[in-house]
């Protein structure tokens, strides 16, 4: 049977969220609402040193002065920040030595998600620091990493055990006052991951954290800090799925990357938070601040596959401070039904001979709105800066929208900047070409969608690429592929 | 008193001088109210992110020129495209100069806004078109609407075309220490009509001049309109040009903007495609130096299927000049088979020059071809060397390359003498004498 675009569209609309389920684990939850006492309580619960409590309070005071940003091309009902509980931790402590000790219900959740810790340990060679709601409950491969001097743990653990490192770098790339959600996160972050790669060390495996939102009415405020010391290399994976919920959930994470001289960080994300059902009800609000700082000859590469969330507001950025530093951004954003995504990047060229590449692919279907918003800024002292940006949008059906808002600001004459954007649908001639060569329409559409996103998919680490492709299939390709 | 308050209070005096029973009276009062509420746009607004009007607002502009001044044609001849015969509508300090102008009512109307607004024979057309496409929410457009009194009025009936191109020239003599002008133009091309218009704002002194101009262009079915804007003003002249274009089926409207000077220039160019198979062309060459600032803000609203738009803006920035390009293409859900193209290429010559560009696409239809490209770069070293090795001095070689860079914008200029004039201006601007006509 010939498979038409109409059918694909229909299928996309009816495709329900496959990973919606809810795990019943007793939680240790703070009362709803936010004030200085709550911030203090979070800090106290986590047994944090005084400087950390002060830092949080400072952020909270800044946050109170700030207003929620309005400029993004998204509309949503603003969350009531007093109706959220800012802390919830899975109850069953302490930490486990082996998987057998972990709550079987939790393990079951992972199984449904396809993240078998065991399997990953053996087959993929991935160390997984699982964040279930807020407190990390299982960390693997710690020993292998420790031999190399690599620190990979939850941020709360890092605050206890490596306070100097945390104190030095936290807020150095995304300061508390950076924006509304970053300030909120700085005040109330519950947990997250911390990673430190010592000088000259090449991390032998992909580091990975899976995030899950699990507790009803709990906002998830993750804080990730990755520091790659001189000449080191690390590839970091982040992926997430969330259970089906009716009320909107808020997710305001902050990720900071620091690549010192000659270091390289590759940060890959697969984001599949609950996007809301096909009437646009429910779904996660994803307001994330991600930024990396490159010193001399350093390189930061962001790769993201965004398929979930009702509202996404996310701009992984690179501050190219050092000479000869490189920033990269590869993104696929898929929106369907009533999803709204406003995502892109910022490349701030400060050092000499800095380079940046932006490849952004947007696919919109259903009644969704997909926006690319990016900034390329070349400062007056950034000699020979080079940027290439490409933003392609693919529209499926005539009820969705694709938008491009690239900002290019140049203050140096030696800059070379190219920006390209196209918007198209799957061409009848392309399908005809395939048909002519004996490929049926179903395969042809799969081929074209795959080909459209290949440039980005290719940038994902092997272990992740498989899952990303799977997610693309779920969100878009359906049974096409 | 700041400029806003001054303008608002001058409105009363302005209304005193004209007939308040005028049908336009309500439109004016509405407009001043809107301006009073909104005021001048600030940098906080996304559309004005890169252009600040703060310094302009500090100047004590006189809103009504007090005395008339006579100019001799020979003194201002160079500001005309004098190589060919044209109709001329000339304003000196905002006041129509019949001595310098050449208007007509022979089959077509090339005359004045003031007569169109007041004479009963034009009433029907004014009611049909005046302030119909101009954006009523826009504060600067409202300001102009409130004070709209004088400007060019061009009406081309069905199947007609004027015998020669039309030039609109706004001169400022410097009789006032600082002068604010608000010309209002209305251009209507009926079915299958054709018209070519050249517009220029020119200050003759170093006194401050601030022009807030609004032009409404209506192109009916099959009409063809060419509009050329020549902006080569001196260092104390600021211009905010708001142009609104309404196009119907099969019409072709081309606007060329040549920005070579002025302290602050802002071009708000808005196309609304209200028909099918429309062709809209927006082209511009910007060559700046010193402290000049030019901001091109374009909008093409594709509201019907099967239309095209072509945008091509080239910029060359020297000194500590600032260039801004903000191009927006909006494609409605029903505007299937749209073919929209947008290109913005820039060369920065000096270390102090700044360029901000934001080419935007907002697309709600799926069967469309929309693309934009944007580059910032330098002259090709190899090409420079190639020319130098053939005996062309570096400066001239650079000018040749920049000329070539800007040239494809000129290709669509359909008045050869104007093309030659712009070529000379470019050569002048680049500071070269090539010994042959570019």
DSSP code per residue over B72-90: -HHHHGGGS-TTS--EEEE
Q: Chain A window 22-81: which residues touch B at a Cβ cutoff of 8 Å?
A: 71
Short-list A33, A315, A28, CA closest to A188: A33
Which of B222, B248, B274 is the last residue in one of the domains?
B274
d(CA A295, CA A291): 13
d(CA B204, CA B200): 13
d(CA A349, CA A378): 5
Structure tokens at B50: 């890169």
pLDDT of residue A316: 93
The answer to whether the Cβ–Cβ distance between B374 and A410 falls below 8 Å is no
Looking at chain A, which residue has its C-alpha nearest residue B362? A403
Bridge pairing between strands B308-317 and A127-132: unpaired
Number of domains in chain A: 1
d(CA A225, CA A171): 9
The answer to whether the Cβ–Cβ distance between B360 and A406 falls below 8 Å is yes
Structure tokens at A437: 């060569």
The minimal CB distance from A401 to the residues B354, B363, B376 is found for B363
The answer to whether the Cβ–Cβ distance between A417 and B366 falls below 8 Å is no
- The count of other CB atoms within 10 Å of the CB of residue B395 is 11
Structure tokens at A478: 């359906």
Query: With b meaning 16 or more CB within 10 Å and e meaning fewer, what string describes B166-183?
Result: bbbbbbbbbbbebbbbbb
User: Can you spell out the DSSP letters for A411-480?
Assistant: --TT-EEEEEEEEE---HHHHHHHHHTT--HHHHHHHHHHHHHHHHHTTS-HHHHHHHHHHHIIIIITT-
d(CA A45, CA A42): 5
Q: Range of A235's domain?
A: 5-477
Short-list A400, A385, A397, A249, CA closest to A318: A385
Query: Rg for chain B (alpha carbons), in Å?
Result: 21
B333 — phi, psi (to 5°)? -60, -40
The minimal CB distance from B354 to the residues A395, A396, A411 is found for A411
Structure tokens at A459: 């940038």
Short-list A56, A61, A34, A31, CA closest to A44: A56
pLDDT tens string B162-174: 999 999 999 998 8
Residue written as token pair 């504060």: B139
The answer to whether the Cβ–Cβ distance between A399 and B377 falls below 8 Å is no
Burial class (CB in 10 A: 0-12, 13-18, 19+), A193: buried
pLDDT of residue A272: 76
d(CA A27, CA A87): 9
User: Can you spell out the DSSP letters for B210-236?
Assistant: EEEEEEEEEE-TT-EEEEEEEE---TT
Which of B224, B259, B274 is the last residue in one of the domains?
B274
Residue spans of chain A under pLDDT 50: 1-2, 21, 25, 91-97, 109, 116, 118-126, 133-138, 211-218, 242-244, 246, 477-481
d(CA A275, CA A366): 13
H helix count then E strand count, chain B:
10, 20
**Interface test with chain B among A421, A426, A428, by most B beta carbons within 10 Å:** A421
Give the best-scoring range by mean pLDDT among A306-310, B88-92, B421-425. B88-92
**Interface test with chain A among B47, B363, B402, by most A beta carbons within 10 Å:** B363
Number of domains in chain B: 2
Looking at CA atoms only, how far is residue A287 from chain B in angstroms?
21
**Chain B residues with CB-CB distance to A380 below 8 A:** 351-352
The answer to whether the Cβ–Cβ distance between B361 and A402 falls below 8 Å is yes
Structure tokens at B188: 């209507």
Banded model confidence at residue B312, pLDDT cuts 50, 70, 90: very high
Which of B254, B274, B294 is the last residue in one of the domains?
B274
CB half-sphere exposure, B320, CA atoms < 13 A = 2
**Chain B residues with CB-CB distance to A402 below 8 A:** 361, 363
**Has residue B185 got a pLDDT over 50?**
yes
pLDDT tens string A68-125: 887 777 888 777 888 777 776 554 434 444 555 555 655 554 555 555 454 444 333 4
Look at residue B331 and tell me if it is in a domain. no
Length of chain A: 481
Bridge pairing between strands B369-377 and A416-424: antiparallel
Structure tokens at B140: 């600067």
DSSP label at residue B425: H
Structure tokens at B170: 């706004």
Look at residue B77 and tell me if it is in a domain. yes
Q: Range of B207's domain?
A: 3-274
Contact status of B369 with chain A (Cβ, < 8 Å): yes
The minimal CB distance from B349 to the residues A397, A413, A420 is found for A413
Bridge pairing between strands A151-154 and A193-197: antiparallel
Strands, E, within A308-368: which ranges?
311-314, 317-320, 326-335, 340-343, 346-349, 355-364
Bridge pairing between strands B279-288 and B308-317: parallel
Looking at CA atoms only, how far is residue B325 from chain A in angstroms?
10
Structure tokens at B96: 């129509």
**Chain B residues with CB-CB distance to A425 below 8 A:** 366-368
Using alpha carbons only, give the angle A214, A217, A222 rounded to the nearest 5 degrees: 60
Look at residue B327 and tell me if it is in a domain. no
Q: Chain B window 311-350: which residues touch A at a Cβ cutoff of 8 Å?
A: 333, 336, 346, 348-350
Short-list B176, B203, B194, B188, CA closest to B152: B188
Structure tokens at A153: 């743990």
Residue written as token pair 């969220």: A17
Beta bridge partners of A228: A197, A259
Q: Chain B window 191-230: which residues touch A at a Cβ cutoff of 8 Å?
A: none
The answer to whether the Cβ–Cβ distance between B356 and A409 falls below 8 Å is yes
Question: Residues near B410 by Cβ (< 8 Å), separated by ≥ 6?
Answer: B285, B419, B422, B423
The minimal CB distance from A398 to the residues B333, B355, B360 is found for B333
d(CA B30, CA B15): 13
Helix (H, G, I), strand (E, B) or coil at A279: coil
**Has residue B342 got a pLDDT over 70?**
yes
H or E element at residue B201: strand B194-203
Look at residue B326 and tell me if it is in a domain. no
Residues B390 and B250 in one domain: no
B206 and B236 in contact (C-beta within 8 Å)?
Answer: yes
Bridge pairing between strands A135-139 and A127-132: antiparallel
User: Can you spell out the DSSP letters for A36-91?
Assistant: HHHHHHHHHHTT--HHHHHHHHHHHHHHHH------SS---PPP-GGGSB--EEES
B205 — phi, psi (to 5°)? -135, 180
What interface predicted TM-score (ipTM) does this complex get?
A: 0.78
Look at residue B294 and tell me if it is in a domain. no
The answer to whether the Cβ–Cβ distance between B370 and A423 falls below 8 Å is yes
Looking at CA atoms only, how far is residue A397 from chain B in angstroms?
6
Q: What is the dihedral sign for C-alpha B344, B349, B353, B354? A: positive
**Helices B139-146 & B24-38, crossing angle to 10 degrees?**
140
B206 and B235 in contact (C-beta within 8 Å)?
Answer: yes
Look at residue B333 and tell me if it is in a domain. no
Looking at CA atoms only, how far is residue B352 from chain A in angstroms?
7
More confident residue, A30 or B367: B367
Residues B265 and B405 in one domain: no
Structure tokens at B308: 């095209």
d(CA B354, CA B68): 40
Question: Residues near A367 by Cβ (< 8 Å), separated by ≥ 6?
Answer: A280, A337, A338, A399, A400
Looking at chain B, which residue has its C-alpha nearest residue A383? B351
A197 and A229 in contact (C-beta within 8 Å)?
Answer: yes
The minimal CB distance from A402 to the residues B349, B351, B363 is found for B363
Q: Chain A window 399-438: which residues touch B at a Cβ cutoff of 8 Å?
A: 399-425
CA distances from A4 to A331, A427, A430, A431, A442 (A): 27, 12, 13, 10, 7
d(CA A352, CA A294): 12
The answer to whether the Cβ–Cβ distance between A421 and B361 falls below 8 Å is yes
The answer to whether the Cβ–Cβ distance between B375 and A419 falls below 8 Å is yes
* Cis previous bond, A148, omega within 30: no
pLDDT of residue A306: 86
**Chain B residues with CB-CB distance to A419 below 8 A:** 359, 372-375
**Helices B394-410 & B381-389, crossing angle to 10 degrees?**
120
The answer to whether the Cβ–Cβ distance between A403 and B363 falls below 8 Å is yes
Strands, E, within A204-339: which ranges?
207-212, 223-228, 233-241, 249-251, 254-259, 264-272, 284-294, 299-306, 311-314, 317-320, 326-335
Helix (H, G, I), strand (E, B) or coil at B147: coil
d(CA B369, CA B363): 10
Look at residue B391 and tell me if it is in a domain. yes
pLDDT tens string B247-300: 999 999 999 999 998 899 999 999 999 999 999 999 999 999 899 999 999 999
């Amino acid at each position: 049977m010939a498979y038409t675009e109409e059918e694909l569209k229909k299928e996309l609309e009816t495709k329900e969220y496959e990973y919606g389920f809810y795990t019943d684990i007793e939680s240790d939850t703070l009362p709803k609402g936010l004030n200085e006492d709550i911030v203090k309580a979070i800090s106290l619960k986590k047994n944090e040193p005084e400087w950390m409590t002060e830092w949080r309070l400072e952020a909270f005071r800044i946050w109170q002065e700030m207003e929620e940003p309005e400029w993004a091309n998204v509309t949503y009902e603003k969350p009531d920040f007093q109706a959220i509980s800012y802390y919830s931790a899975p109850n069953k402590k302490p930490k486990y030595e082996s998987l057998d000790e972990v709550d079987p219900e939790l393990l079951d959740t992972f199984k449904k998600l396809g993240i078998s810790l065991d399997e990953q340990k053996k087959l993929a060679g991935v160390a997984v620091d699982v964040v279930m709601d807020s407190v990390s409950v299982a960390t693997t491969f710690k020993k292998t990493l420790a031999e190399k001097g690599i620190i990979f743990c939850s941020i709360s653990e890092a605050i206890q055990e490596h306070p100097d490192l945390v104190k030095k770098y936290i807020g150095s790339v995304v300061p508390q006052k950076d924006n509304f959600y970053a300030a909120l996160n700085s005040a109330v972050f519950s947990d997250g991951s911390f990673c430190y790669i010592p000088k000259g060390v090449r991390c032998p495996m992909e580091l990975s954290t899976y995030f899950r939102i699990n507790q009803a009415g709990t906002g998830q405020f993750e804080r990730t800090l990755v520091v790659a010391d001189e000449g080191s290399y690390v590839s970091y994976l982040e992926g997430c799925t969330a259970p089906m919920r009716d009320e909107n959930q808020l997710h305001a994470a902050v990720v900071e990357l620091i690549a010192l001289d000659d270091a390289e960080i590759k940060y890959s994300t697969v984001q599949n938070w609950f996007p809301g059902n096909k009437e646009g009800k429910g779904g996660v609000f994803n307001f994330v601040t991600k930024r990396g700082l490159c010193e001399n000859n350093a390189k930061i590469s962001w790769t993201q596959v965004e398929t979930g969330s009702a509202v996404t507001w996310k701009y992984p950025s690179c501050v190219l401070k050092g000479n000869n530093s490189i920033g990269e951004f590869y993104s696929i954003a898929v929106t369907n039904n009533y999803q709204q995504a406003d995502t892109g990047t910022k490349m701030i060229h400060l050092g000499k001979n800095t380079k940046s590449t932006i490849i952004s692919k947007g696919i919109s279907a259903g009644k969704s709105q997909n926006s690319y918003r990016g900034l390329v800024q070349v400062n007056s002292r950034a000699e020979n800066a080079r940027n290439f940006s490409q933003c392609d949008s693919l529209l499926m059906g005539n009820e969705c929208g694709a938008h491009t808002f690239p900002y290019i600001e140049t203050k140096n004459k030696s800059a070379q900047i190219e920006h390209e954007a196209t918007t198209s649908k799957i061409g009848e001639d392309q399908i005809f070409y395939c048909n002519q060569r004996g490929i049926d329409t179903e395969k042809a559409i799969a081929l074209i969608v795959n080909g459209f996103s290949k440039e980005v998919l290719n940038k994902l680490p092997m272990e992740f690429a498989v899952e990303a492709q799977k997610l693309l299939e779920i969100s878009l390709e359906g049974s096409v592929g | 008193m700041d400029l806003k308050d001054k303008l608002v209070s001058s409105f009363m005096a302005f209304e005193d001088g004209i007939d308040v029973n005028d049908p336009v009276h309500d439109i004016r009062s509405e407009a001043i109210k809107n301006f009073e509420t909104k005021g001048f746009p600030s940098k906080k607004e996304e559309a004005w992110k890169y252009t600040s009007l703060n310094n302009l607002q500090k100047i004590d502009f006189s809103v009504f020129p007090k005395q008339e001044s006579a100019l001799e044609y020979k003194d201002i001849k160079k500001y005309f495209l004098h190589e060919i015969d044209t109709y001329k509508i000339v304003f000196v300090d905002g006041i129509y100069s019949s001595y310098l102008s050449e208007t007509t009512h022979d089959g077509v109307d090339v005359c004045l806004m003031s007569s169109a607004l007041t004479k009963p024979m034009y009433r029907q057309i004014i009611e049909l078109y005046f302030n119909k496409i101009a954006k009523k929410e826009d504060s600067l457009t409202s300001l102009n609407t409130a004070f709209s009194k004088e400007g060019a009025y061009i009406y081309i009936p069905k199947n007609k075309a004027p015998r020669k191109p039309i030039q609109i020239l706004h001169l400022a003599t410097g009789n006032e220490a600082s002068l604010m002008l608000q010309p209002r133009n209305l251009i209507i091309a009926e079915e299958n009509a054709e018209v070519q218009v050249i517009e220029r704002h020119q200050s003759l002194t170093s006194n401050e001049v601030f022009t807030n101009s609004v032009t409404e262009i209506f192109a009916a079915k099959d009409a063809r309109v060419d509009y050329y804007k020549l902006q080569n003003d001196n260092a104390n002249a600021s211009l905010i040009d708001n142009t609104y274009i309404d196009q119907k089926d099969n019409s072709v409207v081309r606007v060329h903007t040549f920005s070579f000077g002025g302290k602050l220039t802002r071009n708000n160019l808005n196309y609304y495609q209200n028909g099918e198979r429309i062709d809209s062309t927006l082209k511009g060459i910007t060559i700046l130096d010193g402290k000049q600032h030019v901001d091109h803000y374009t909008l093409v609203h594709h509201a019907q299927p099967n239309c095209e738009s072509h945008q091509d803006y080239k910029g060359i920035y020297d000194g500590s000049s600032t260039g801004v390009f903000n191009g927006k293409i909006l494609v409605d859900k029903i505007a299937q088979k749209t073919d929209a193209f947008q290109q913005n290429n820039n060369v920065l010559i000096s270390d102090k020059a700044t360029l901000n560009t934001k080419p935007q696409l907002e697309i709600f239809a799926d069967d469309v071809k929309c693309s934009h490209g944007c580059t910032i770069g330098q002259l090709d070293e190899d090409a420079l060397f190639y020319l130098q090795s053939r005996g062309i001095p570096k400066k001239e070689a650079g000018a040749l390359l920049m000329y070539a860079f800007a040239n494809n914008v000129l290709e669509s200029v359909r008045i050869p003498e104007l093309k030659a004039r712009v070529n000379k201006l470019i050569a002048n601007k680049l500071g070269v004498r090539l010994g042959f006509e570019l």
